[in-house]
Chain A
């Protein structure tokens, strides 16, 4: 694995390797000395064309725990916002000797462009691109689910998948990179996924995805759910007629107090409630649900650092690039080209 661009083409063994490595990284987080010397002398660039303080500091913490040097490059207020192209920015970072580029971009596919072109010779990690994918978010979600699911089964999480776990993802699927990355990854790990959304917020072609699709949240809960993931919904979507009002949206598709109680009524005592954050309390999730013992919101944030450490470690350690001008990577470490 040379880059992490999407979960769509992530194999089961790759996914398990990342999750297992993250388990060891999580253990480091519990030690007194939370730092490892692993990536000493390596440079990780956080290249953010779109604001996301949460994701940036999570990657920054991960890189620093592995002793990498971190450069934060925010496109806003920099030459990028003055019209400098992605190509020029990438070549600049390459000249500075970046070993890995963590890229967040409003345009779907921007990380693929970096990886496919010769603009930069560095590992590219997709930290969220447009409405395409957000693979590290899906990995941290899967990590969170796996710990829960393995504990219920009484087995160690290392090496395990999510076979048989019922996961519902509700909200603005159309515009959600989190939903896309989760559908592909959870399928690979063996979970059964149901997407719940108003028909206006589902993409044309969703019927070909490896999941169930429902317009009815209550019906989905009644069928049994082990993890309920709520997606952030932007209120402005109302203005583009995706739904009539935010009130109607939360009544039909929000995880409100009534639905929180329904979990108990249905006997779903072990169902967790997930949210990638930042939450719109009162819109897609009620305060009581967000703060309930079922909520894994903070665990997700914590696990995000472990996942990102694992990804950085796996991408940067197996890479035996020589000095500039020599071959890019050894044949044993490159198995996948972005297509």
Chain B
């Protein structure tokens, strides 16, 4: 389809007739990493032409919540395989969670992850720093050093574990203000969830699996929004899963608390009824909840109470899922199914349009993570992080055919709508024809720093 350039400076592509954010068909001319022009009947001028009639053009998706597993669990995923999955799923940036081995709690580890991401070249890998040393919840990690490192960390999270000590949480919220950081909280009261296996309710009662009450999530969120208000800090709530959490966040926003919230694709669709199979592919943290929760989460994402979709992509080796439920690891893969699941649950239900999709999967998460060159409008002069989506495509999920090493997709066997046809990362096609193309090659060190604008953000031409 296109001649492949390893040099990012020379690629030129004319996307012809794509519905930009689902609107009327227009052309986009991409050259040297920038959207050079947007309009009707643009001249190719030597650029490779991509016929995009019937396709939707969207800003590259930004995942605020990804587990890439490297360093330490390369049997589960590597930065290379995880970011291939991300590119195929329509992402141009992912935030790599800190619960690696060693934990990303020092400048050294976050810089290592940054370097791995650039070497891979499929997406912008933004390391998340741990809030506490070793995720132990006892002592603050060197947040400033991580913020000042080459990785320029802005999102801090002990994800997987809740920062449950209220004093520690208060201090973290306060401290990150020094460098415009945000604490992304995994809201889970540990004492209320000791040994918990699934949502506590009708289904857990029948299955005899230890219950995970909604209140364990909601009580932490309630505490944290009050803390954030008290100290005037920015708070991000990871993977909101209950209707009660939505109500608390809605209330907090109405009081002016600087809080953002995230929902995973799986919590927008799946319920705890699936646990009746005892198949651990449905075991996840936070657990799948009830249909009432699912409906509340959809409504909250549509009305802006929940700001972003985050995948919580959590690949696991098969032996961690081919076992008893209680023995199994928690987590699901998500990068390669997120777009389709959000299309199915939010767009095909009429709750959202593609412009809203761009907001919750790109603009808002880029803003939370302070990723300046992502989540931008698809206008002339903007960085060319663009994806083309075929909303009419239908495909059946087969985890064995995915780029991620994780086979733990809860959507296996389901037919989903929507397919990513192409992903442009910094003007370079990482995905073409729905298949991996070639990675972007970063220029030598210091030429580009994430977090600093790479292009003029001038208005429309």
Binding site for B on A (CB under 8 A): 8, 85-87, 105-110, 112-113, 116-117, 129-133, 177, 180, 203-206, 208-209, 338-339
Supposing A204-B201, A204-B204, A205-B205 touch, asked if A112 and B277 sit within 8 A by C-beta, the answer is yes
Return 10 A-B CB contacts under 8 Å, by A number.
A85-B322, A108-B197, A108-B325, A109-B278, A112-B278, A204-B211, A205-B200, A205-B201, A205-B203, A205-B204
Q: Which of B250-300 contact A (CB under 8 A)?
A: 276-279
Q: Which residue of A lies closest to B194 (CB)?
A: A240
**Which chain B residues lie closer than 8 Å to A132 at the CB level?**
207-209
**Which residues of chain A come closer than 8 Å to B213, judged between CB atoms?**
204
Contacts A109-B207, A113-B278: A87 and B322 contacting too (C-beta < 8 A)?
yes
Q: Are A203 and B204 in contact (CB under 8 A)?
A: yes
| Distance between A79 CB and nearest chain B CB, rounded to angstroms | 15
Known: A85-B319, A109-B278, A339-B277. A8 touches B325 (CB 8 A): no
- Interface status of B326 (Cβ within 8 A of chain A): yes
Chain A minimum-CB-distance residue to B327: A107
Task: Answer yes or no: B180 CB below 8 A from chain A CBs.
Answer: no
Q: Specify the chain A residue showing the minimal Cβ separation from B203.
A: A205
* Docked-complex contact A208 and B205, CB < 8 angstroms: yes
Q: Which B residues lie within 8 Å of A205 (CB)?
A: 200-206
Is there an interface contact between B202 and A208, defined as CB atoms closer than 8 Å? yes
Give A94 Cβ to nearest chain B Cβ, in Å: 15
Given known A-B contacts A116-B278, A116-B279, A131 and B208 have beta carbons under 8 A apart: yes
Contacts of A116 in B (CB 8 A): 277-279
A179 nearest CB neighbor, chain B only: B208
> B201-227: which have CB < 8 Å to A?
201-211, 213
Question: A108-B207, A108-B209, A110-B324 given. 17 additional CB < 8 A pairs?
Answer: A85-B319, A85-B322, A85-B323, A86-B323, A86-B324, A109-B324, A109-B325, A109-B326, A112-B277, A113-B324, A129-B208, A131-B209, A203-B205, A204-B213, A205-B205, A205-B206, A208-B205
Contacts of A133 in B (CB 8 A): 208
- Option from B200, B205, B209, B211 in Cβ contact (under 8 Å) with A109: B209
Closest 5 A/B residue pairs (Cβ): A109-B278, A132-B208, A205-B205, A131-B208, A203-B205
A105 vs B277: C-alpha distance when bound (angstroms): 17
Q: Report chain A residues within 8 Å CB of B197.
A: 108
Kindly identify which residue among A113, A130, A180 contacts B206, using a CB–CB cutoff of 8 Å.
Answer: A180
Cβ of B205 and Cβ of A177 under 8 Å apart? no
Are A130 and B202 in touch, CB under 8 angstroms?
no
Query: Complex: how many Å from CA A117 to CA B328?
Result: 15
Residues in B neighbouring A204, C-beta threshold 8 A: 200-201, 204-205, 211, 213
Check if A177 sits within 8 Å of B208, measured CB to CB.
Answer: yes
- Give the residue among B200, B201, B324 with the most A Cβ atoms within 10 A: B324
A108 touches B208 (CB 8 A): yes
B278–A8 CB distance below 8 A: no
**For residue A85, which residues in chain B have a CB less than 8 angstroms away from its CB?**
319, 322-323
A110 to B280, CA, bound (A): 11
Complex: how many Å from CA A107 to CA B323? 10
A117 and B211 CA atoms in complex are apart in Å by 25
Known contacts A204-B201, A205-B202; decide if A339 and B276 are in contact (CB<8 Å).
Answer: yes
Instruction: Report chain B residues within 8 Å CB of A129.
Output: 208
Residue contact B326 to A107, C-beta cutoff 8 Å = yes
B215 to chain A, nearest CB (A): 10
Q: Give Cα distance in the complex from A106 to B210, angstroms.
A: 12
Closest beta carbon of chain B to A237's beta carbon, Å? 14
Contacts of A180 in B (CB 8 A): 206, 208
State the CA gap A133–B208 with chains docked (Å). 8
Contacts of B211 in A (CB 8 A): 203-204
Cα A19 to Cα B319 with chains together (Å) = 40
A110-B207 Cα distance, complex, nearest whole Å: 11
A50: shortest Cβ distance to chain B, in Å?
12
Could you tell me the distance between the alpha carbons of A131 and B200 in the complex, rounded to whole angstroms? Answer: 14
**What are the residues of chain B within 8 A of A106 when measuring CB–CB?**
326
Which residues of the partner chain A approach B209 to less than 8 Å between Cβ atoms?
Answer: 108-109, 130-132
Within 8 A of A (CB), among B130-173: none
Minimal Cβ-Cβ distance residue in B for A180: B208
A108 and B205 form a contact (CB under 8 A):
no
Assess the B206–A8 pair: CB atoms within 8 A.
yes
CA distance A203 to B322 in the complex (A): 28
B201 → chain A, closest Cβ, in Å?
5
**CA of A61 to CA of B127, assembled, Å:** 61
Per the bound structure, the CA–CA distance linking A129 and B276 in Å amounts to 14
Find A107's partner among B200, B276, B277, B324 (CB 8 Å cutoff). Answer: B324
A339 to B207, CA, bound (A): 12
CA–CA, A336 to B305, complex, Å? Answer: 44
**B324 engages A105 (CB within 8 Å):** yes
Bound Cα distance from A243 to B397, whole angstroms: 48
Contacts of A8 in B (CB 8 A): 206
**A338–B279 Cα gap in the complex (Å)?**
11
Docked CA distance A128–B149 (Å): 55
| Residues on A with beta carbons closer than 8 Å to the beta carbon of B324 | 86, 105, 107, 109-110, 113
Closest to A177 in B: B208
The reply to whether B278 and A108 contact each other, CB–CB distance below 8 Å, is yes
Alpha-carbon gap, A257 to B325, bound state (A): 42
**Distance A132 CA – B210 CA, assembled complex (angstroms):** 10
Interface string of B304-329 (1 = CB under 8 A from A): 00000000000000010011111100
Residue with the greatest number of chain A CB neighbours at <10 A, chosen from B208, B276, B277, B326 = B208
- A177 and B207 CA atoms in complex are apart in Å by 9
Q: Which residue of B lies closest to A109 (CB)?
A: B278
Nearest chain B CB to A147 CB, angstrom units: 29
A49: shortest Cβ distance to chain B, in Å? 9
CA distance A206 to B201 in the complex (A): 9
B278: chain A residues within 8 A (beta carbon): 108-110, 112-113, 116
**Which B residues are in CB contact (< 8 Å) with A87?**
319, 322-323
* Residues of chain A lying within 8 A (CB to CB) of residue B210: 131
Chain A residue at minimum C-beta to C-beta distance from B326: A107
